[in-house]
Amino acid sequence: MAPTAHVDSGHLQGRSDGDIAVFLGIPYAAPPVGRLRWRPPHLPAPWTGVRPATAFGFDAHQVDDPGDMLSGVRPRSEDCLTLNVWAPARRAAPAPVMVWIHGGGFTNGAASAPAYDGAALARQGIVVVTFNYRLGRFGFFAHPALSAAADGEPIGNYGFMDQIAALQWVQRNIAAFGGDPGRVTVAGESAGGWSVNMLMTSPMARGLFQGAIAQSAGGRVGTFGRSLATWSRGLDAGRAFATRAGVSGDGPEALAALRALPPEALLTVPFFTAPRDVYAGPMVDGRVLVDDPGTLFAAGAAMRVPYLVGANSREADDMPEARPMAAALLATNGPLAAALAGAYGGADEAEARLMSDIIFVEPARFTARTVSAPAYLYRFGYAPEAWRKVVPGAAHAMEVPFTFGTAKGAEDARVGVMMSRYWANFVRSANPNGPGLAAWAAHDVAGDQVLIVDLHGAAKAGPDPKRDVLDLLANSPFAPA
C-alpha cells in the first residue's frame, strides 16, 4: 500500500521503496513566478484531494555545466520550489532528520541528482529531506527598483530565503513523516556547504536546526576564491544586467519590465566560468546574509551546534583554472613560496595542491576551530580505481555518493557504507562514532585531530599530518582572517 502523509497544504501519497516511504516533488513554497519573481518565498496554496508525490518537481533554471558530475539534465522551470522526503516506513519513535542543500556554485545543481537519493541513509533510521532553491539571477539579484518596492521585505538573497523556507517547512511538517523537528541537522556540499555556514550565522535561521554538516564548504572570506559581493556591488551588477536586457530606470515600470523578462534572459553562466561582473551569487544584504560567514565564524558568532566539516584531498585538481591561479600566487610571494615548497616536498607539488588547500582544506580546519561546540574534522581521499589513474585522490564533490551511501561497485559500496554510517550517526547523536568504525575524536587546536580516509578507503583519525602546511596557509596573505 502506498504511504500517505498530511502536511499543512494538504494530503500526499508517495511510494514505497521496500522499507522506506518516499515522497517527491512536495511544494514547500508558492511558485516564484510573475509578481513573485524576486520576492521572499510565500506559502504554497493548499490543494484538495490527494496529491501524488511520486516524481521530482522541476529543477531550477540553469545553464548546463559540463563539469557537474552529480546532476543530470531534467526539465527546468522557475516553478522549482519543491522538496523530497525519504523516511523509514516503520519506527518506534520520531526519527532525527537530515536536510540536504545541494551544491553547484549557486548557479547549478538540483535535489533530483541520483547521488542524493536518501534511501540508504533512511535505512539507518533517519529522515532525509532534499530540496531545490532558486539559482543564479533567479535566486541572487539586487536592483534599486526592487529596493523601492520591498516594503520591509528582505531582498537580494532569494536562494537563501528559499533554504530558510524549506527548514521552516520541516519544522511545521516533518512529524507527518515520522521525523523529529527538534533533531534536525542541516547538511550540504560545496555551495550547499557554504550555505550551511551561512545559515549558522544568519539571524533568520535561528532555532531551525540543531546540528550542521559542511562538506567542501570553504569557510574563509569570500566564496571559493571570489570576494563576497557587497550590497552596493550587487546593486551595480543588477543595474548592469538590466541595461543589457534593455530595461532602464529604477521605478515600478522598470520592475515590471524585469519581471516580464522570459526566463531564458535571466540565465547566467556556471560559477567557475562566470566573470566576476557577470556572476550572480550571494551578497551581503544585512538581514539574511549579515556579513561574510568567515568573518562571523572568526568572531565566534556562529550558532553553537555540533558541527561536522571537512574537504577532499585533491579538491581543485580537476579545475583547469586552479594551477594557473596557484602559480600566480606563488610567483608574487617568494619567501612564502619557498616555505610551501619545502612543506609540500617540492615546488611542483605546491603548485598542484595549493588551491585545494587554500580554498577548501585549511578553511575547513579554520571553521572547526572557531565553533563553540563539538566539531569533527575529516579529509576524504578515496577515489575509485579508474580515477586514481588521473588524480591520486578525491576531487571536488567526489565524496557525496559515499556519504549518501549511493556509490556503486563492491569497493565503492564498502566505503559508502562506512561514510554513510559516520554521517547517520552524527545526525542521530551529534557524534559520528559507532561500532565497527575507526574512532574519531573531536577537533581542537592542541590535538589537531582529523579523520583521514585514504586513497584506498581506509579510515584513521589522529593528529593532522598536514599541520605544517595548513599553519603556513592560515598565517599567509592567501587566507585573510
Per-domain residue ranges of the chain: 4-474
* Buried/exposed code over 328-360 (b: 16+ C-beta within 10 A; e: otherwise): ebbeeeeebbebbbebbeeeeebbbbbbbbbbb
Confirm if 298 and 166 have CB atoms less than 8 A apart.
Answer: no
Higher pLDDT, 353 or 200: 200
Higher pLDDT, 319 or 81: 81
Per-residue pLDDT, averaged over 336-351, amounts to: 86
Does the annotation count 190 as an active-site position?
Answer: yes
Is the predicted pLDDT of residue 86 greater than 80, yes or no?
A: yes
Per-residue pLDDT, averaged over 243-258, amounts to: 96
For residues 448 and 81, give the distance between their C-alpha atoms in angstroms, rounded to a whole number: 40
According to the model, what pLDDT value does residue 387 have?
Answer: 87
Is the predicted pLDDT of residue 354 greater than 70, yes or no?
A: yes
Q: Which residues pair with 380 in a beta bridge?
A: 312, 453
Pairing, β 4-7 against β 10-13: antiparallel
Give the tens place of pLDDT for each residue, 104-124: 999 999 999 999 999 999 999
Give the single-character DSSP code of 124.
Answer: T
Which candidate in 9, 71, 112, 315 is catalytic?
Answer: 315
Which candidate in 396, 399, 420, 443 is catalytic?
Answer: 396
3-state secondary structure of 100: strand
According to the model, what pLDDT value does residue 481 have?
Answer: 45
Residue type, 295: T
Does the annotation count 315 as an active-site position?
Answer: yes
Please count the other Cβ atoms lying within 10 Å of the Cβ belonging to residue 152: 4
Is the predicted pLDDT of residue 224 greater than 80, yes or no?
A: no
For residues 470 and 277, give the distance between their C-alpha atoms in angstroms, rounded to a whole number: 31
According to the model, what pLDDT value does residue 70 have?
Answer: 61
Give the single-character DSSP code of 316.
Answer: T
3-state secondary structure of 394: coil
- Residue ranges of alpha helices (H) inside 311-439 are 322-331, 334-344, 347-356, 362-370, 385-388, 400-403, 410-429
Is the predicted pLDDT of residue 221 greater than 60, yes or no?
A: yes
For residues 230 and 222, give the distance between their C-alpha atoms in angstroms, rounded to a whole number: 11
Is the predicted pLDDT of residue 178 greater than 90, yes or no?
A: yes
Per-residue confidence at 332, pLDDT binned at 50, 70, 90?
confident
> How would you list the strands of the sheet with 10-13, edge to edge?
4-7, 10-13, 50-52
Give the single-character DSSP code of 228.
Answer: P
According to the model, what pLDDT value does residue 1 have?
Answer: 86
Q: What is the pTM of this model?
A: 0.96
Does the annotation count 385 as an active-site position?
Answer: no
Pairing, β 307-312 against β 375-380: parallel
According to the model, what pLDDT value does residue 35 have?
Answer: 97
Which candidate in 9, 71, 112, 190 is catalytic?
Answer: 190
| Superfamily of domain covering 4-474 | Alpha/Beta hydrolase fold, catalytic domain (3.40.50.1820)
Per-residue pLDDT, averaged over 173-188, amounts to: 99
